[in-house]
Amino acid sequence: MASRKIREAVEKVTDDTVRAYLDYLKGLPDVGRFRSLDNNGRPKGDFYGNPNLAIISWTALPLYGTDFGWGNEIHLGPGPMGFDGKTFIIPGREGDGSFKVAIWLQEEHMDAFKKCFYDDI
């Protein structure tokens, strides 16, 4: 179910929607002072909230089937996540178009994420 929702959302993204969203972001006030980590994942002072979101798609990478002499992989995913809001979209091992999603959220934000993802999207 989650993979289907992600796929449907991805299919709605067009060049025009991306450009419109970038224009929207340009109009927002600078939230840099709210970031708790710098771009290299190092602590940067007080934590003022959770405005961070980074989505990295590994869907086009040839991730599976690499044999280093130990047989096929049994798991593939990101190592350290780096900061709150960092998200990886990883293609399913079966090659059927499914996805795995690895996301780092603070525990206090999980219920809001679940509501948004399962009820609001």
| Sequential pLDDT tens for the chain (121 residues) | 667 777 788 888 888 988 888 788 778 776 665 555 555 555 554 444 555 677 888 888 888 887 778 887 777 788 877 777 788 898 888 878 888 888 888 777 788 888 887 887 6
- Indicate the burial class of 18 (C-beta count within 10 angstroms; 0-12, 13-18, 19 or more): exposed
- The DSSP bridge partners found for residue 90 are 100
Q: How many secondary structure helices (H) and strands (E) does the chain include? A: 3, 3
Report yes or no: 90 and 77 within 8 Å, Cβ to Cβ. yes
Report yes or no: 67 and 102 within 8 Å, Cβ to Cβ. no
